[in-house]
DNA sequence: CGAAAAGTTGAACTGAATCAATGCCGGTGG
DNA sequence: CCACCGGCATTGATTCAGTTCAACTTTTCG
């Protein structure tokens, strides 16, 4: 797998219903026509290697990227080269849903692991939202959920300890991955390294590692290799003070 | 001024062009009809006392609140009673621009100082965005800017020191207040206490105080009472690694 | 004027960073 | 098939930025 490489039109294997459809249908009813449309979009995909940029800060995103498998993140680069991850993009998530309006990204985005990504160019994105109410509503809801996550992350960094922050992130990922069928009760595959986690949670890698050990010691969660085993979901949630309601915006009418 | 009190329909004094109009016109051209409409909205305002909630987490916001003078904040409440401020709402800012769609707020919002606030109920908000393209575009742009700020704050908390964070916030406030005519080169009135600042920047009040002293010692900024004196804007920006471009989203077409 | 909230200061303490070394594992090339 | 390499994970020792506690002053405001 050549880093940064991309090969065109990759067949969509496993996980029956497409992640994007699943995601948008969560908040808005999609017509059959809309579902079909989204499924067709998802065939024009690229398999992108790990750690390759999708969008670079300051550039024109030109449209939206849809993560269909794998995982990516939005991040901010500081002048001195240090980075900070400001959100995770999981299957079904859309990077630059505002690609229709925004011409300069205020963040970069990159894959974390090899990922299948569909690109929706600006004109098509506009057409989709203008012509299909279900899709427009779904996109809006997805954006609201994302914003709520952003606020939650901010509160997390602002007033929780390393252990609490980590537990909170693991709870959130459990919910989000379950929503697209990528996690069971027992746990899930973490698509990021401890280094990624540490730059997300604002701590050193050394302390990240120690915090993971502490979670294991408290029999809450156990990260072995790529797999996160949820040992005691209630305990994890209680450490994190986790309340999942922010992940599911309630829409009017 | 009774805390939590509110008296109806307060006359709009000073600062010529209404803050809301000024804010929305920043990214989108407003027709005369639209400007007039917004100005009329801004007459049905309430003067709200300091530290009164506008919206409570979990409640239905029912519409949007527009800050016309004063200042407010969005905040998150933790079970144990500690709070974290996730954004500031300055004159011209809109709280719950998504009031048209969202039925459950994932945050609370409260005034920081006595403020003039207009409320736009959901049906009216819908009508405004549906009928007036300029207003819809302005609102969208305002929301994008807000999101960019949220991401910046997250990166701030995640990877900057107390001094850097504080300098960054002061730079941001300078830009934002200048955009609505509430700050000059020399400085501005800070509408929040050191306690508020500390809750925002994720540090103890004691350390907040010491950080302010350090900024003064470095001849960058000097907070005296409510007034922030910018002593050396370049130095402040360099401490903060401040680049204001995130505050001005570039819109397509 | 008096009470409450905000700001200030010093001293002791601690969660997390930093430094540094070492182990592990998967991939690549010889 | 094995040796080597680079990224990731782990561990111990030390240091430091920021917290906590506690007392005190100043300002605000009813």
pLDDT at B8 over 50: no
Let me know whether A143 and A167 are in one domain.
no
- Structural domain includes residue B156: no
C-alpha to C-alpha distance for A223 and A213, rounded to whole angstroms? 9
- Structural domain includes residue B210: yes
Q: Residues B9-20: pLDDT tens digits?
A: 333 344 456 899
Residue ranges of the alpha helices (H) in A82-232? 122-131, 133-159, 162-179, 194-201, 205-217
**Residues in contact with B148: Cβ distance below 8 Å, sequence separation at least 6, in sequence order:** A106, B246, B247, B249
- Structural domain includes residue B49: yes
Query: Which residues in chain B have Cβ-Cβ distances shorter than 8 Å to A150?
Result: 147, 150-151, 154
- Structural domain includes residue B252: no
Among protein residues, the one whose C-alpha sits closest to the C1' atom of D18 is B207
Q: Residues B126-144: pLDDT tens digits?
A: 999 999 999 999 999 999 9
Find out whether B51 and B62 touch, Cβ atoms under 8 Å.
no
Let me know whether B184 and B234 are in one domain.
yes
Q: Å from A55 to nearest chain B CA?
A: 15
What pLDDT was estimated at residue A253?
A: 73
Tokens encoding A132: 């299909």
What pLDDT was estimated at residue A128?
A: 94
Query: Which residues in chain A have Cβ-Cβ distances shorter than 8 Å to B250?
Result: 102-104
Instruction: Show which positions of strand D are touched by protein (CB under 7 A).
Output: 7-13, 17-22, 27-30
* Burial tier of A88 (Cβ tally within 10 Å: 0-12, 13-18, 19+): buried
Last residue of a domain, one of B133, B151, B169: B151
Q: Is B81 on the interface with A (CB under 8 A)?
A: no
Query: Which residues in chain A have Cβ-Cβ distances shorter than 8 Å to B154?
Result: 84, 86, 150, 153-154, 157
What pLDDT was estimated at residue A8?
A: 37
Last residue of a domain, one of B105, B127, B151: B151
What pLDDT was estimated at residue B12?
A: 38
Q: Å from B201 to nearest chain A CA?
A: 7
Let me know whether A69 and A192 are in one domain.
no
Last residue of a domain, one of A132, A151, A170: A151
Tokens encoding B19: 């803050």
Let me know whether B64 and B126 are in one domain.
yes
Let me know whether B17 and B82 are in one domain.
yes
- Minimum CA–CA partner of A108 in chain B: B151
Rg (CA), chain B: 18
Let me know whether A124 and A15 are in one domain.
yes
What domain range is A54 assigned to? 6-151
- Structural domain includes residue A1: no
Let me know whether B84 and B104 are in one domain.
yes
Instruction: Show which positions of strand C are touched by protein (CB under 7 A).
Output: 5-11, 15-20, 28
C-alpha to C-alpha distance for A145 and A149, rounded to whole angstroms? 6
Whole-model pTM? 0.94
Strand C and B206 CB separated by under 7 Å? yes
pLDDT at B42 over 90: no
Nucleotide nearest to B192 (CA to C1'): C6
Residue ranges of the alpha helices (H) in A14-160? 19-24, 32-41, 122-131, 133-159
Q: Residues B92-101: pLDDT tens digits?
A: 999 999 878 8
Let me know whether A59 and A166 are in one domain.
no
Q: What is the mean pLDDT of each run of 10 residues along chain A (253 residues)?
A: 38 60 89 92 86 96 95 96 96 91 95 95 94 94 96 98 98 96 95 98 98 98 96 98 96 82
Output the CA angle B73-B75-B79, nearest 5 degrees: 155
C-alpha to C-alpha distance for A239 and A237, rounded to whole angstroms? 5
Let me know whether A147 and A168 are in one domain.
no
CB within 8 Å: A103 and B74: no
- Structural domain includes residue A143: yes
- Structural domain includes residue A253: no
Mean pLDDT over the full length of chain B: 91
Q: Is A202 on the interface with B (CB under 8 A)?
A: yes
CB within 8 Å: B250 and A157: no
CA dihedral B30, B36, B38, B41 (to 10 degrees): -170
Find the CATH number of the domain harbouring B136: 2.60.120.10
Let me know whether B20 and B144 are in one domain.
yes
Let me know whether A48 and A145 are in one domain.
yes
CB within 8 Å: B202 and A82: no
C-alpha to C-alpha distance for A151 and A134, rounded to whole angstroms? 26
> Considering chain B, what percentage of its residues have pLDDT values greater than 90?
84
* Count of domains observed in chain B: 2
Q: Is B103 on the interface with A (CB under 8 A)?
A: yes
Distance A190 CA to C23 C1' (A): 22
Q: Residues B168-220: pLDDT tens digits?
A: 999 999 999 999 999 999 999 999 999 999 999 999 999 999 999 999 999 99
**Residues in contact with A37: Cβ distance below 8 Å, sequence separation at least 6, in sequence order:** A128, A132, A135
Let me know whether A181 and A141 are in one domain.
no
Tell me what the mean pLDDT of segment B233-246 comes to. Answer: 98
Q: Residues A56-99: pLDDT tens digits?
A: 999 999 999 999 999 999 999 999 889 999 999 999 999 999 87
Find the CATH number of the domain harbouring B212: 1.10.10.10
- Structural domain includes residue B177: yes
What pLDDT was estimated at residue B72?
A: 98
What pLDDT was estimated at residue B16?
A: 54
């Amino acid at each position: 797998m050549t880093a940064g490489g991309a090969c065109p039109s990759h067949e969509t294997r496993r996980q029956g219903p497409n992640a994007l459809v699943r995601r948008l249908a969560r908040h808005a009813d999609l017509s059959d026509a809309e579902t079909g449309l989204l499924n067709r979009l998802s065939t024009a995909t690229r398999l992108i290697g790990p750690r390759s940029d999708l969008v670079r800060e300051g550039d024109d995103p030109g449209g939206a990227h849809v993560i269909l498998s794998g995982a990516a993140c939005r991040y901010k680069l500081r002048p001195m080269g240090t980075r900070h991850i400001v959100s995770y993009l999981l299957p079904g998530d859309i990077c630059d849903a505002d690609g229709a309006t925004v011409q300069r990204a205020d963040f970069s985005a990159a894959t974390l692991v090899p990922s299948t990504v569909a690109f929706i160019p600006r004109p098509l994105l506009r057409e989709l939202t203008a012509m299909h109410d279900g899709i427009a509503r779904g996109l809006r809801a997805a954006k609201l959920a994302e914003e709520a996550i952003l606020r939650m992350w901010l509160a997390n960094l602002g007033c929780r300890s390393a252990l609490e922050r980590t537990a909170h992130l693991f709870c959130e990922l459990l919910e989000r991955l379950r929503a697209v069928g990528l996690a069971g009760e027992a746990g899930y595959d973490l698509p990021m390294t401890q280094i990624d986690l540490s730059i997300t949670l604002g701590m050193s890698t050394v302390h990240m590692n120690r915090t993971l050990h502490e979670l294991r010691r408290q029999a809450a969660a156990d990260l072995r290799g790529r797999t996160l085993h949820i040992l005691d979901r209630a305990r994890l949630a209680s450490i994190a003070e986790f309340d999942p309601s922010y992940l599911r915006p309630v829409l009017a009418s």
